[in-house]
Structure 1
Amino acid sequence: MTALREVAVVGAGAAGLHAVEALRRAGYDGRLTLIGAETEPPYDRPPLSKHLLGGQWQPDRLALRAPQALRELDLDLRLGVRAERLDRQGRAVQLADGHRVRCEAVILATGVRPRRLPGAEAPLAGAHVLRTLADALALRDELRPSVRLLVVGGGLLGAEAAATAVGLGAEVTWLVSTAAPLAAVLGTETAALLAGLHREHGVRIRQGVARAVTERHGRATGVRLADGSHVAADAVLMAIGSEPATEWLADSGVPLDDGVACDAYCAAGPGVWAAGDAASWPDPRTGRRRRLEQRTNATEQALHAARNLLAGPDSARQPYDPVPYLWTDQYGLRVQAYGSPGDADRFEVVDGSLTERRFAAACARDGLLRGAVGIACARALRGQLRAQLAAHGPWPPGAQ
């Protein structure tokens, strides 16, 4: 193990927490600082758009660790303060409160920032994003029977929020820019199934491109579309994607390319590592850079970065080659996906059926398995299909 005595982890979300835990489990006993911009201790984000937004959970249920477990990590825990600059030469992180945290090595896990539409770049009543606990609570306060909610964005976050809101009695319009929302993530067949579920539950799906949030007397009134039309609403949720929160690294010398540009081992330079939503790395399969905004990746990549950090320069570091995994809960169904189902052009059900809304399917392209997706068929997905993906195997199995 390397002889480091001062390590800092910037970002106190899931990736940051798992990084500090991995360092301690591996025997690192030096000073360990965890820095987070939010005032809350590390909490889980996936329930924000579901259990918390729907009111089934209260904020305390989101905590990733009990206070005692955090104390046992013996952290210098800095919450509610942003990192402003990484001084690589001086081996320190400059904080917004004026303090400097010395560190011989640093793991960058600052996550992402939600994009906003023109007209709502600054805080505007009735215009919402959904990234933090505070965001979710603010939107929850708006959701009541008959309120008109406009969800802008055809990704998983928008889909989950729409499903939750309509379940609370809101009149929901889901504005998407493509004819098949979620197809790029889950594949055409699964996306069509979910779109049908949304319509069955009363969500209005409208295709169009949002240009700006409109307002009157300091409150959002809807969204203006590219074709000049206007969609009126009492509240607007902007779920239009995100960008890596890396602006504070601009003059640090850390390479940035759609996030912190790491090598195959999660390193972004001597003493600098990255993990989670803000980290990009070369995919061993394609050679192209990839960045995953997925909860499972935050955990796995943080563990990997921590292990490689401690391995030292003379040890054999392990390249990061995950099998991406995501899930989404909508209308009482859990959809699970491995790999990249949206990159496939062949969809083959191997268990169950789409009509039953219980299936596992292989998603292939050019004779290779690219992804797997299913509902209520976890065993089939985790078994043969995941193993085939991990092996970069052909489809069908045994094909040459």
Structure 2
Amino acid sequence: MSTFVIIGAGLAGAKAAETLREEGFGGKIVLIGAEGERPYERPPLSKGYLQGATDLEKVYVHESGWYAAHDVDLRLGTTATGIDPRGHLVHLDKGESQPYDKLLIATGATPRPLAVDGGDLEGVHYLRTVADSKALREAFAGGGRVVVVGAGWIGLETAAAARQAGCEVTVVAPGPAPLHRTLGTEVGEIFAAVHRAHGVEFRLGTSVSVLRGRSGVSEVVTTAGEVLPADHVVAGIGATPNVELGRSAGLEVADGIVVDASLRTSDPDIYAAGDVAEADNPLLGRRIRVEHWANALNGGPAAARAMLGQEVVYDRVPYFYTDQFDLGMEFSGDLSGHDKVVFRGDPALKDGAIPGFLVFWVTNDGRVLAGMNVNIWDVTDKIQALVRAGQAGGAVDLGRLADPEIPLSDLLG
């Protein structure tokens, strides 16, 4: 009987285990997780659960009895310390070794630390786990002054949650606008306007030089010399993929553990999926590492099918979403190489509220490389069709692309 081992009991690992059983795998499945929580989804931790709108039970991938019912050996509170590819063994922190025939690494990523003096003071928070989100909920419930370091997705979502809880919120970030590395300055300014309309302040073009406090953090000093009072600090400055197991096992590692289009590593019996994997994406024509929910949701099952010997080409359009105040957004694609931004609809706030509109990142010759829908729903499939066509070289008329009266589906006719 074959044994398939999955290191990482997050969404990617849990969905891989589920897919193995759905596809008829009758061998042994061992799912190893370092946390004490059974597998859960991370988006609610910075969205609904953090805001108090989602019950904790709804964040879990499966009901508590699912793993036993499907004969999945779920080992929580267990850390894999090494992989022996020749011996087909996973070494565990409890001193035992687990044999495998096929192995999936889905170890995710770890938040980057705020590496300044005072970064270890009480009241400095990160957001990655259920425990982190619980701690932030309690911190925000007390009101007070919150300084968020970083204006990426985690930074802005926690800023929104803190403001909705009644906290005074200031966001500190080195870029010219929120999300400028992800969406560009022009679109990032839209998110800044939404937050400012809800009372969030920004300190852009500056960073944190030191945190001060006695028993806990009380001040944030920026590189511009400004002193910001703070009862709590949230560090949202990115994450680092957990590639140590792969590197020590001799696997090819770059920005993440390198995998081909079937999510197979440089070892034929080892696969990687989720945040930790840098995958060859045939749609984009290059390797890419994606740290978003959809990649874990879809990558875990794709890896499972590949482990079973099925022909797999993982060429999903990168996708992510966010909810901040009254702004709901879905993004599809990869804007690398775009020349300009095309809006379909007016993104300007109206009476402080964000309207519905679409944004496209395009080349001068009309290829759509990425698209975003804001407060407009049920258009993701059409946007992704435009992105697939654009990434393959197909062009659209940019004037028609900007016209809300022309259906998106007509642009590919």
Aligned counterpart in structure 2 of residue 339 of structure 1, from 333, 336, 342: 333
Structure 1 distance, partners of 2:285, 2:396, is 24
Which secondary structure state, in structure 2, belongs to the residue aligned with residue 280 of structure 1?
Answer: strand
Other-structure match for 2:370:
371
Other-structure match for 1:237:
234
Other-structure match for 1:199:
196
Which secondary structure state, in structure 1, belongs to the residue aligned with residue 300 of structure 2?
Answer: helix
Inter-CA distance 136–343: structure 2 relative to 1 (3 Å threshold): farther
Other-structure match for 1:86:
83
* Kept in 1: contact 2:6–2:103 (CA 8 A): yes
Equivalent runs, 1:245-324 vs 2, <5 Å = 245-268=242-265, 269-311=267-309, 317-324=311-318
Structure 1 alignment gaps of length 5 or more: none
Other-structure match for 1:396:
396
Inter-CA distance 153–258: structure 2 relative to 1 (3 Å threshold): same
Report deviation, 1:136. 0.9
In structure 1, give the amino acid aligned to 2:358: A
Structure 2 distance, partners of 1:330, 1:211, is 24
Inter-CA distance 341–329: structure 2 relative to 1 (3 Å threshold): farther
Other-structure match for 1:33:
30
Report deviation, 1:326. 0.7
Inter-CA distance 287–340: structure 2 relative to 1 (3 Å threshold): closer
* Kept in 2: contact 1:188–1:342 (CA 8 A): no
TM-score (norm 2): 0.88
Equivalent runs, 1:24-173 vs 2, <5 Å = 24-119=21-116, 124-144=121-141, 146-173=143-170
Structure 1 distance, partners of 2:218, 2:96, is 42
Alignment length (residue pairs): 390
Structure 1 distance, partners of 2:346, 2:388, is 25
Aligned structure 1 segments of 4 or more residues deviating by more than 4 angstroms: 119-123
Q: Verify: 1:353 aligned to 2:346, yes or no.
A: yes
Which secondary structure state, in structure 1, belongs to the residue aligned with residue 21 of structure 2?
Answer: helix
* Kept in 1: contact 2:145–2:232 (CA 8 A): yes
Q: Deviations over 1:118-154 (max 9, x none)?
A: 2479853100100001111112221146411000011
Moved more, 149-158 or 220-229: 220-229
Structure 1 distance, partners of 2:326, 2:111, is 26
* Kept in 1: contact 2:107–2:276 (CA 8 A): yes
Structure 2 distance, partners of 1:396, 1:61, is 41
Inter-CA distance 53–379: structure 2 relative to 1 (3 Å threshold): closer
Which secondary structure state, in structure 2, belongs to the residue aligned with residue 164 of structure 1?
Answer: helix
* Kept in 2: contact 1:111–1:245 (CA 8 A): yes
Inter-CA distance 250–341: structure 2 relative to 1 (3 Å threshold): closer
Calculate the aligned-residue CA RMSD, in Å. Answer: 2.2
Which secondary structure state, in structure 2, belongs to the residue aligned with residue 163 of structure 1?
Answer: helix
Which secondary structure state, in structure 1, belongs to the residue aligned with residue 221 of structure 2?
Answer: strand
* Kept in 2: contact 1:34–1:75 (CA 8 A): yes
